[in-house]
Amino acid sequence: MNLLLLILIPLFTAIAVLLMRNPQHIKWVALTGATTQFITALWLLLAYQNERAAGNHFQMLFEQRYNLFTSWHISFHLGVDGISTAMILLTAFVVIAGVLVSWKMTKMTKEFYFLLILLSLGAYGFFISLDLFILFFFLEIAVIPKYLLIGIWGSGNKEYSANKLALMLMGGSALVLVGLLGLYFNSPERTFDLIRLSEIGISTETQKICFPLLFIGFGVFTALFPFHTWVPDGHSSAPTAGSMFLAGISMKLGGYGCLRVATYLMPAGAKEYANIIIVLSSIAILYGAFTTLMQKDLKYMNAYSSVSHCGFVLLGISMLTKTSMTGAVMQMISHGLMTALFFAVIGMIYERTHTRQINEMSGLLKVMPFISTIFFIVGFCSLGLPGLSGFVAEMTIFMGSWEHPDAFHRIATIVACLSIVVTAVYILRAIGKTAMGPLKEGYANLTDASWNEKLAAVILVAGIIAIGCAPFWLNNLVGPDTQLIMQKILLTQ
């Protein structure tokens, strides 16, 4: 398995899209690229599991290294472990669904698909890079596509949202950058290599300075309270595929960074600041849930619930137990699939009814049985129905958190649990209002999902159910690597 494939396929797809003229061809090229990437990601999963089954105990598999900028000791170092394999799989799922959902895009098709693919390129690169400089490069590469996608194809107050998103994420990256430079200059040897840095260790003083910089920096990406304000505006202004990518992939970059860079490299720092983060993420979970309760717009509703759900990711990481971290990774995957599907469904409904206001719709189940069914499934996943991925992930986090016997952690866990009740309220209300009830006038001629929309939904639902019904494979995939991170934390005093 050559990891370069994961970067090269989107790159060539993007170039091919640029060279095409006919919008119809562009769509097919983009879909072909996304499908190839999807197959490659599945292949990666198989190859990874085969290697592990064959007893390969290296921390990172399929490593490759090319020297870049030798004078700064930067190398293009690639490799995957269980966590990154899972994240790549998630990205592939969301990308193919995103391409399918935006099949009817007519405004500047070429630019749209080019930017989408560039965005996915950034995510793939981010998850496979083991050199912090390259990682940062891929983190930042997505800024242009995000900004333009929202600003050009968005709706509502799109210029404002695009600006807010770009500036806040840039602020996050600035903190990440300073943190990375701190690591680079304060480690015994000047290197950006993740594995090397974790081997040689970083002094406790440096960790105390750099951990908050890196964690808050990455935290901005994953809606760490109080830096979450870009999420609602950005997500609700973006076009459907843009919201899917933002919530499904982009926010996960932050979570992955918090885990892989901040916590893994700086266990002492993580211990030092864990309590503060627990407080912040508990606030995000509860605050996000209650704010969602007040939303009347479906997209805003899902965006605020993303704040709440991503709070679980950070909570899981900062609880610092093996189970809770595994849960955090599962929550990233689960939330990525779920929220992408949610945005896709909202996009489908909006395309037909031309409204996103919950109060203005009713009885959709009668004319759009397929879309409404998907809406039910994704809603139930969001509120944590057993058998779907949301339950598995959140349950694992709670189990992990409960391992701490002291009152502080217990209270935080209970507070986080409370949000599930609130989630049930807003989800059931939204579904009930829109799908059930008498059919609204003028809705009789609305059509159900087309083939591309059905395909996109089925792919994502398959992912959600696969995790929900058989969580052990994800657990086995991710578990050994969270165990490694935990070991480092246990070793520090």
Partner 1 sequence: MNEMLIIMKSELLITIIIFLLLFIKLGKGMTNDSLLILVQFLMLLNFIAGFFFNLPGNLFDGMYHTGPLIAFQKNILNLGVYLISLLFADWFRKSEHLTEFFILLLSALLGMFLMISSGNLLMFFLSLELATIPVAALANFDLDKKKSSEAAMKFILSSAFSSGILLFGISMVYGATGTLSFELLPAQLNGNPLQVLAFVFLFAAFAFKLSIVPFHLWTADVYEGSPVAVTAFLSVISKGSVSFIFLTALYKVFQPMNELWYNMVMILSIATMITGNLFALRQQNIKRFLAFSSIAQLGFILVGISSNALEGTSSVVYFVLIYVFSNLAAFGVTSVISSRVGKENIDEYRGLYQTNPFLCWVMALALFSLAGIPPTAGFFGKLFLLTAGASKANYTFIIIAALNMILSLYYYLKVIRAMFMEKNEKPIEKIRLYPSVKLGMVICAIGIILTGLLSWVFDYIQSLH
Binding site for partner 1 (CB under 8 A): 68-72, 74, 133, 137-138, 140-141, 143-144, 147-148, 151-152, 158-159, 162-163, 166-167, 170-171, 174-175, 177-178, 181-182, 184-186, 209
AA identity, residue 323: T
Tokens for 445?
Answer: 């001629």
Pick the closer one to partner 1 by CB: 237 or 291: 237
CB of 396 to partner 1, least distance (A): 35
Pick the closer one to partner 1 by CB: 181 or 446: 181
Q: How far is CA 223 from CA 217, 312, 315, 431, in A?
A: 10, 11, 12, 25
Pick the closer one to partner 1 by CB: 231 or 285: 231
CB of 138 to partner 1, least distance (A): 8
Pick the closer one to partner 1 by CB: 20 or 166: 166
Pick the closer one to partner 1 by CB: 186 or 204: 186
CB of 141 to partner 1, least distance (A): 5
User: Exposed, middle or buried, 73 (CB in 10 Å: 0-12/13-18/19+)?
Assistant: middle
Interatomic CA distance for residues 301 and 286, integer angstroms: 14
CB of 68 to partner 1, least distance (A): 4
CB of 12 to partner 1, least distance (A): 15
Pick the closer one to partner 1 by CB: 86 or 238: 238
CB of 192 to partner 1, least distance (A): 10
Pick the closer one to partner 1 by CB: 59 or 67: 67
CB of 157 to partner 1, least distance (A): 12
Pick the closer one to partner 1 by CB: 157 or 483: 157
CB of 162 to partner 1, least distance (A): 7
Pick the closer one to partner 1 by CB: 75 or 295: 75
Q: Prior bond to 188 cis, omega within 30?
A: no
Pick the closer one to partner 1 by CB: 148 or 317: 148
Q: Give the side-chain half-sphere CA count within 13 A for 75.
A: 16
Query: Tokens 């599907």, residue?
Result: 341
CB of 394 to partner 1, least distance (A): 34
270 contacts 262 by C-beta, under 8 angstroms:
yes
CB of 412 to partner 1, least distance (A): 30
Pick the closer one to partner 1 by CB: 68 or 274: 68
Tokens for 65?
Answer: 């290294």
CB of 143 to partner 1, least distance (A): 5
